[in-house]
Chain A
Amino acid sequence: MIKVLIPLTALLLAAGSANAQERPAQAVIDAYIKSTFGKASAEWQARIKPDDSLSVCNVTRNNPSSAQSDEMLKRESARVTYPADGKFLGDWKKGYQVANNGRGGQFSDPAGTVAGGNCFACHQLDPKEVSYGTLGPSLAAYGKDRKYDPETIKDAYTKIYNSMAVVPCSNMPRFGVNKVLDEQQIKDVMAYLFDPESPVNK
């Protein structure tokens, strides 16, 4: 137990912000989490166990120091798997389904639910769609505005696969890393952003 505590305390001190000082010891917080979620299955428990990057984001409230940011970018970049066939774009029509689907990962979802990317929850995409959220920037005309540039396409794949490989402690889910979306789904949603025929670029 003590062994686990020391690195976390070190982290806490490393953060050194006013917020972190008020933060109770991780062991205290963990006891509360156990009381409320302790009966969940091992699979569910694993989902709420923060990895190295999330631990930093939690303690610093998404404001990692520059050293922590560098480390995180390195660690998270290494977790991105690019398509073996070198193709980044799939079918934009299927990509729309991925972007529009907010199911998956909720305890109310029936077993076997196909998860979506829920992009519309946070982003404007097709400018004709009025039901979109604003937690993320507008992605309307995303491909067109970037002239369908191959480097930008690769960067967007990286972003969707692992948002924290681009922005440390990004609020955007890490779709590939957390296995929410598979490679084909990411390619399809990529096409929704980058196909000239996609409504996003019309």
Chain B
Amino acid sequence: MKLPIIGAAALVAVLIVAAGPLTAQSPPQDDSEKEIERYRQMLSDPFSNPGFLAVDRGEVLWAEKRGTKGVSLEGCDLGEGAGKLEGAFAKLPRYFADADKVMDTEQRLLWCMDKLQGLDTKEVVLRRFSGPARASDMEDLVAFIANKSSEMTIQPQLSHPKEKEMAAVGEALFYTRGGVNDFSCATCHAEEGKRIRLQGLPNLSVKGKTAQETMGSWPTYRVSQSALRTMQHRLWDCYRQQRWPVPEYGSEALTALTVFLQKQAEGGEIKVPSIKR
């Protein structure tokens, strides 16, 4: 699959200009937001979204025989049966009896790498977030798996007691304040139409369209970071802004928050990988 890389570079340039200095006369947010929206629409052609490169890399990784056991991930059960990818992401996080745990996509992948492939997950976790000279297996695999649920709806799994606990704890965590600024998720994400500096803040405290569009657009290609990012990275970055300690990758509180956010976003359409500022 050939991608117009020049197109991506041009987009970066345009977005930088759009986010640049604004004149006092123009309503600040609207201008840059509109520009970004315009380019987002131009990019609805999937072949110009660099996030699809990650999908392709993920597809290769999924089928590659790796680890001490020399097998691929094709035997991994993401909730819909071993190797079944269609619609699996739409129902994650969910309870897995074999692990006796509620897991999100990343946690489940790490579990399969460890148990199925005998792969050194420490090394994989070190590369959890890609950088200029560092590929991330996790980002690529999640992009591939999530893409297999594109155009499906978000279906939070809340029948098992542990899934119910996750949703309730996630909701409590959303309102838990701390850090030197006393921030919680709700400080920034519980009111309509607010912004921090010029960045619009989605209200995730209520069910509905905003939550649906937000959750239905992850994983996403972040133009400002030139990288595909998953919800694990988004929550890591928000806890950073919240002035909390570094959250452990693929850990309980992050999964709980994700279950809660999926609940808020129930029925939303998944369109991934998307592209964002």
Task: Note all chain A residues with C-beta closer than 8 A to B252.
Answer: 31-32, 35-36
Please tell me if the beta carbons of A58 and B253 are within 8 angstroms of each other in the complex: no
Q: Which of B169, B181, B244, B248 contacts A28 (CB 8 A)?
A: B169
Q: Which of B172, B178, B188 contacts A48 (CB 8 A)?
A: B178
**Does residue A3 face the partner (Cβ distance < 8 Å to B)?**
no
Please tell me if the beta carbons of B178 and A47 are within 8 angstroms of each other in the complex: yes
CA distance A43 to B107 in the complex (A): 28
Please tell me if the beta carbons of A131 and B28 are within 8 angstroms of each other in the complex: yes
Q: Which of A36, A41, A47, A106 contacts B251 (CB 8 A)?
A: A36
Chain B, Cβ-Cβ closest to A44: B245
Pick out which of these stretches binds chain B: A64-72, A172-180, A185-193: A172-180
Chain B, Cβ-Cβ closest to A48: B178
Within 8 A of A (CB), among B231-276: 240-241, 243-248, 251-254, 256
Please tell me if the beta carbons of A37 and B165 are within 8 angstroms of each other in the complex: no
> In angstroms, how far is the closest chain A Cβ from the Cβ of B204?
14
Q: Which of B175, B196, B244 contacts A133 (CB 8 A)?
A: B196
Q: Which of B182, B196, B244 contacts A122 (CB 8 A)?
A: B196
CA distance A24 to B248 in the complex (A): 22
**Does residue A39 face the partner (Cβ distance < 8 Å to B)?**
yes
**Does residue A79 face the partner (Cβ distance < 8 Å to B)?**
no
> In angstroms, how far is the closest chain B Cβ from the Cβ of A30?
10
CA distance A23 to B173 in the complex (A): 10
**Does residue B177 face the partner (Cβ distance < 8 Å to A)?**
yes
**Does residue A196 face the partner (Cβ distance < 8 Å to B)?**
no
Q: A47-B178, A130-B28, A178-B181 are in contact. Are A106 and B197 (CB under 8 A)?
A: no
Interface residues on chain A, size class: 35 or more
Please tell me if the beta carbons of B198 and A36 are within 8 angstroms of each other in the complex: no
Within 8 A of A (CB), among B121-162: none
Q: A24-B169, A135-B188 are in contact. Are A48 and B181 (CB under 8 A)?
A: no
Chain B, Cβ-Cβ closest to A33: B253
> In angstroms, how far is the closest chain B Cβ from the Cβ of A103?
11
The total number of A-B Cβ pairs within 8 Å is 130
Task: Note all chain B residues with C-beta closer than 8 A to A122.
Answer: 196
Q: Which of B24, B195, B256 contacts A134 (CB 8 A)?
A: B195
Please tell me if the beta carbons of A54 and B194 are within 8 angstroms of each other in the complex: no
> In angstroms, how far is the closest chain A Cβ from the Cβ of B216?
25
Task: Note all chain B residues with C-beta closer than 8 A to A178.
Answer: 180-182
Chain B, Cβ-Cβ closest to A23: B172
**Does residue B106 face the partner (Cβ distance < 8 Å to A)?**
no
Chain A 47-78 against B: per-residue CB contact (8 Å), 1 yes, 0 no? 11110001001100110000000000000000
Task: Note all chain B residues with C-beta closer than 8 A to A120.
Answer: 197
Chain B 180-191 against A: per-residue CB contact (8 Å), 1 yes, 0 no? 111110111001
Please tell me if the beta carbons of B245 and A107 are within 8 angstroms of each other in the complex: yes
Q: A36-B254, A37-B248, A133-B195 are in contact. Are A47 and B240 (CB under 8 A)?
A: no
Please tell me if the beta carbons of A22 and B253 are within 8 angstroms of each other in the complex: no
CA distance A154 to B76 in the complex (A): 63
Chain A, Cβ-Cβ closest to B187: A171
> In angstroms, how far is the closest chain A Cβ from the Cβ of B234?
15
**Does residue B176 face the partner (Cβ distance < 8 Å to A)?**
yes
**Does residue A152 face the partner (Cβ distance < 8 Å to B)?**
no
Task: Note all chain B residues with C-beta closer than 8 A to A140.
Answer: none
Within 8 A of A (CB), among B18-72: 22-24, 28
Task: Note all chain A residues with C-beta closer than 8 A to B244.
Answer: 37, 47-48, 107
Task: Note all chain A residues with C-beta closer than 8 A to B177.
Answer: 50, 54, 57-58
Mind listing 29 A-B residue pairs with CB under 8 Å?
A23-B172, A24-B172, A29-B172, A29-B176, A32-B169, A32-B253, A33-B253, A35-B251, A37-B246, A41-B245, A47-B244, A54-B177, A54-B178, A54-B182, A58-B176, A61-B175, A62-B175, A104-B180, A107-B246, A115-B180, A122-B196, A133-B195, A134-B193, A135-B187, A173-B180, A173-B181, A173-B182, A173-B183, A180-B180
Residues of A whose CB lies within 8 Å of any CB of B are: 22-24, 28-29, 31-33, 35-41, 44-45, 47-50, 54, 57-58, 61-62, 102, 104-108, 115, 120-122, 128, 130-135, 171, 173-174, 178-180
**Shortest beta-carbon contacts, A-B, top 4:** A40-B245, A36-B253, A48-B178, A35-B252
